[in-house]
Structure 1
Amino acid sequence: MLARGDRMDILHSPMGLSRMPQDVLHTPQTINVVPQALMQQQNVKSLDEALRNVPGITASVGEGEGGMAGDQFLIRGFQAQNDIYEDGLRDFGVYTRDSFDYDHVSVIKGPSSEVFGNGTTGGAINITTKVAHLGDSYSGSFSGGSADYYRGTFDINKQINDTTAVRIAGMGNENNEVGRDDVYSHRWGIAPSIAFGLGKRTTFTLEYLHQSDNRIPDYGVPVITRPGATVGEPATAYGINRNNWYGTTYDQDDSSVDMLTGRLKFDLNPHITLYDDLRGGMYSRYFSASQEGCGTTCEDAYFSGDDADALVDRRGPKGGPQPYQQNDWSVQNVFSGVANFNTGPLRHQMIGGVDVEHVYDRRTNYAYNFNGQNGTREDETSLVSPSSVQPGLLLGGVGQYAYDLTNISGAGQKLYKTGDATDVGVFFSEQMWIIPSFSIRGGVRWDNWNSHYSATEGATSSATRLGQQQNTVNPTVSLMYTPDKTTMIYFNWAESTTPLGLYVTNSSEPLSSTSQNYSPERSRLYELGVKRDMFNGRLGLTASIFRLEKDNSLLTDPTTGSVTSSSDQQRNQGVELSASGEILRNWNVIATYAYYDPKTTSSLTKADIGKQIAFAPRNSATFWSTYSIAPHTPWNVTFGGGLTWRDRAWLNAANTAYVPHTMEWDAVISHNIGKHWRFALNGYNLANRLNYSNLFSGRATPSTGRAFLGNLSLTY
Structure 2
Amino acid sequence: MSTHIRSRRLTPTRSPFVATSAPALGAALLSLPLALHAQTAPTQDTPTLPTVSVTGAAEGYKADTSASPKLTQPLLDTPKSVQIITKDLMQAQGATTLTEALRNTPGITLQLGENGSTSAGDTFQMRGFSTQTSTFVDGIRDLGAITRDVFNLDQVEVVKGPSGADIGRGAAGGYINLISKLPERGERNDATLTVGTADTKRATADIGRGFGETSAWRLNVMTQDSGVAGRDEVKNKGWAIAPSVAFGLNTPTRLYLYSQHVHQDNVPDGGIPTIGMKGFYNANSALDAGAKVDTHNFYGSKNDHEKVDADMFTVKLEHDLAPGTTVRNVTRYGQTHMDRVLTGVNG
Q: TM-score range by the shorter chain?
A: 0.7 to 0.9
Of residues 45, 57, 81, the one that matches 2:96 is: 45
Distance 1:191 1:226, change over 3 A: closer
1:62 Cα deviation from its structure 2 partner: 6.0
Q: 1:166 to 1:273 in 2, by over 3 A?
A: same
Match of 1:280 in 2: 333
Distance change (3 Å), C-alpha of 1:158 and 1:242:
same
| SS of aligned partner of 1:179 | coil
- Compute the displacement of 1:25 (Å): 2.1
Looking at structure 1, the residues matched to 181 and 112 of structure 2 have their Cα atoms a distance apart, in angstroms, of 28
2:238 aligns with 187
Query: What is the alpha-carbon distance in structure 1 between the residues aligned to residue 141 and residue 121 of structure 2?
Result: 15
Q: Distance in 2 between matches of 1:55 and 1:66?
A: 25
Residue 8 of structure 1 corresponds to 61
Which of 280, 296, 302 is the equivalent residue of 1:243?
296
- How far residue 19 of structure 1 moved from its aligned partner, in angstroms, is 2.2
What letter corresponds to residue 173 of structure 2 in structure 1?
A: G
Tell me: CA distance 1:194–1:46, structure 2 relative to 1, closer, same or farther (3 Å).
Answer: same
User: Take 2:65 and 2:187, find their aligned partners in 1: how far apart are those partners?
Assistant: 23
Partner of 1:454: none
CA deviations on 1:209-229 (whole Å, 9 max, x unpaired) are: 011011111121123477997
Residue 214 of structure 1 corresponds to: 265
CA distance in 2, matches of 1:185, 1:250: 15
Report deviation, 1:170.
0.5
Contact 1:82 1:92 in 2 (8 A): yes
CA contact (8 A) 2:244 2:257 kept: yes
Change (3 A) 1:199 1:228: closer
Distance apart, 1:66 and its partner CA: 7.2
| 1:255 partner amino acid | V
Structure 2 matches for 1:21-100, cutoff 5 A?
21-61=72-112, 68-100=119-151
Question: 1:287: Cα distance to partner?
Answer: 0.9
Answer yes or no: is the 8 Å Cα contact 2:116–2:343 preserved in 1: no
SS of 2:274's equivalent in the other structure is strand
Name the structure 1 match of 2:32: none
Structure 2 unmatched runs, 5+: 1-55, 283-287
Matched residue, 1:104:
155
Distance 1:127 1:228, change over 3 A: closer
Q: Which one has a larger percent strand, Structure 1 or Structure 2?
A: 1
Q: CA deviation at 1:240?
A: 1.2
Other structure's SS at 1:284 match: strand
Deviations 1:170-193 (A, max 9, x none): 000110122111110111001111
Distance 1:120 1:138 in 2: 39
Aligned residues: 286
Paired residues of 1:7 and 1:35 also in contact (CA < 8 A):
no
**8 Å contact 2:234–2:269 — kept in the other structure?**
yes
Against the structure 1 CA distance between its residues 24 and 238, is the aligned structure 2 distance closer, same or farther, given a 3 Å change threshold? farther
8 Å Cα contact 1:246/1:292 also seen in 2: yes
Query: Which amino acid is the alignment partner of residue 261 of structure 1?
Result: T
What's the counterpart of residue 267 of structure 1?
Answer: 320
Aligned pairs for 1:258-407 within 5 A = 258-294=311-347
Whole-Å Cα distance in 2 between the matches of residues 51 and 67 of structure 1? 19
Superposed counterparts of 1:401-550, under 5 Å = none
In the other structure, the counterpart of 2:226 is 175
Residue by residue over 1:137-175, the C-alpha shift from the partner in whole angstroms, topping out at 9 and shown as x without a partner, is 111111101121111110011000221000001000110
Q: Give how far 1:115 is off.
A: 1.3
Unaligned runs of 5+ in 1: 295-716
CA distance in 2, matches of 1:238, 1:202: 67
Contact 1:61 1:70 in 2 (8 A): no
Alpha-carbon shift at residue 60 of structure 1 (Å)? 1.1
Aligned-residue Cα RMSD (Å) equals: 2.5
Match of 1:205, SS state, is strand
Q: CA deviation at 1:63?
A: 7.0
Conserved in 2, the CA contact under 8 Å of 1:265 and 1:275?
yes
Q: Which amino acid aligns with 1:256?
A: D
Greater fraction helix? 2
SS of the aligned residue for 1:290 comes to: coil
- CA, structure 1 residues 202+25, in 2 after alignment: closer, same or farther (shift >3 Å)? same
Paired residue secondary structure (2:146): coil
Q: Is the 8 A contact 1:62 1:69 kept in 2?
A: no
CA distance change for structure 1 residues 63 and 22 in 2, over 3 Å: closer, same or farther?
farther
The higher relative CO (CA closer than 8 Å, separation ≥ 6) is in 1
Give the structure-1-normalised TM-score: 0.38
Write the distance in 2 (CA, Å) between the matches of 1:200 and 1:210.
29
The answer to whether residue 206 in structure 2 is matched with residue 160 in structure 1 is no
1:5 is paired with a residue of what secondary structure? coil
Cα distance in 1, alignment partners of residues 307 and 113 from structure 2: 17
Over 3 Å counting, the alpha-carbon distance change for 1:226 and 1:101 in structure 2 is: closer
